Amino acid sequence: MSGNFFSRLVPSSFKLSAACVATIGALAACGGGSNLPAFLTLDGNQPIVIAHRGASAYYPEETKEAYTLAISMGADVIEPDLVMTKDGVLIARHDVTLATSTDVASHPEFASRKRAGENGDGEAVAADWFTADFTLAEIKTLRAKSPSYELAKVYNGLFQVITFQEVLDLIKAKAADTGRTIAVYPETKNPSYHYNLWKSGALPARLEDVLVKMIKDNGLNSKTAPIYVQSFEPGSLQYMRTIGSQVKQMQLIDAYDVDYKAGKLIYGTAPGNLVYSQPTDWKLAGRKELFDVMLTPQGLADIKQYADGIGAWKPMVIPVKCQLDAKGDCKDLDGNGTFDGYPDAEPQAPTSLVADAHKAGLFVHEYTFKRGKSDYNTTFDARNDPLSEYLQHFRLGVDGVFSDAADIAIAARAAYLREMGR
């Protein structure tokens, strides 16, 4: 792949002038008509649609077919999670284990590879197959399967696992075919886990070193290039800056769970709860701070030192809460016999996070919008109107949304543009 290919295709939306960024309301400076209402995004552009693991609601996630479908749907960005093989190749998989997303269990030649370990976040795994125990050639004999969507499970066993380079090659090919640049949004998955494997000699290279080299080799190492690199671990992003990363970097922010009765997020302090309440690298370093400190003005200012935006969980922007029955329990609003969390919860007044992040100069990309009413993360009020949930968030000025169903996200954005008179 030519190192200059992507730079030739960077759209104007990735080349905003400093004056345009600083003066979002001056639409004429951003190329918009003076009579049009301003977008509330950081850069004054319409929010982007990020295809979460590709069109993962329809095809097994993180496959060439899922990414190709998402691009055809109109997604602006495709997102691969990156883990490393035994021979140092970055592949698109969400987990460091293979049983959930591949057919490895049906391969008798790999039966002896099943072992105990950890899931990358420090939680014990009784028995599974681990990516770091397999070469790329061996991974290529496996076939992907969907861990969640029934529509996607129809295609289980048909598609290969692909490498990050193959993702970049797909983007190049689609850009050549259509003239439309698609951005890529890799996540450094479980960086501390991979770092420890590298230090022990089980992996030949550090994940971030391989990623930054690939970014440079593919002509993507600039702030205006169509790429974002994300991680839940600050240390991964900070390290990438020290080895020359100039791309847009995004700090992901998590929480342990939602307290649906109180309408608040839970940041647990029990040892098991720290898996999602605290970045793994902070935990390993003995730090006591939890993810919630990142949501404060000071936390956002700290993030700005090494990143360009945040990846926020949806209830950090619009909290959700259940209705209580006479006993003080959460009501089963959808009538399926049990309280299911998000599908039985309702949105509350927005937080100030989007405004606070923008004030700090940070983009806000939210995760994850699902396909329909039966899927986790879709609130009860949006059960029969999948566009309405997106609209609630677009109106607040979020800069982008991660979606398993890019077609629905694109339709929702079109509705938002019509609402804005655009």
- Burial of residue 95 (CB within 10 Å: 0-12, 13-18, 19+) is buried
Can you say how many angstroms the Cα of residue 55 is from the centroid of all Cα atoms in its chain? Answer: 13
Q: Looking at the 3D structure of the chain, how many domains does it have?
A: 1
Q: Hey, what are 213's tokens? A: 């080299």
State how far the Cα of 382 lies from the Cα of 384, in Å rounded to an integer: 6
Instruction: Name the nearest CA neighbour of 180 among 23, 12, 43.
Output: 12
CATH number of the domain within which 241 lies: 3.20.20.190
> What's residue 24's pLDDT?
32
> What's residue 377's pLDDT?
63
3-state SS assignment for residue 112? helix
> What's residue 14's pLDDT?
33
State how far the Cα of 312 lies from the Cα of 253, in Å rounded to an integer: 5
> What's residue 269's pLDDT?
80
DSSP string, 268-326: --SGGGHHHHS-HHHHHTT----GGGGGSHHHHHHHHTT-SEEEEEHHHHS-EEPPB-T
Give residue-wise pLDDT tens across range 128-181.
Answer: 999 999 999 999 999 999 998 999 999 999 999 999 999 999 999 999 999 999
Give residue-wise pLDDT tens across range 178-216.
Answer: 999 999 999 999 999 999 999 999 999 999 999 999 999
State how far the Cα of 46 lies from the Cα of 38, in Å rounded to an integer: 9
pTM: 0.91
Which residues of the chain have a pLDDT value below 50? Answer: 1-33, 374-376
> What's residue 2's pLDDT?
42
**Torsion, Cα of 10, 11, 14, 16 (10° steps):** 120
3-state SS assignment for residue 355? helix
Instruction: Name the nearest CA neighbour of 291 among 300, 280, 279.
Output: 279
Looking at the DSSP bridge assignments, the partners of residue 403 are 51, 369
> What's residue 326's pLDDT?
96
Q: Is the peptide bond before 85 cis (omega within 30 degrees of 0)?
A: no
> What's residue 372's pLDDT?
61
- Residue 134 structural domain: 5-419
How many CB atoms within 10 Å of residue 241? 15
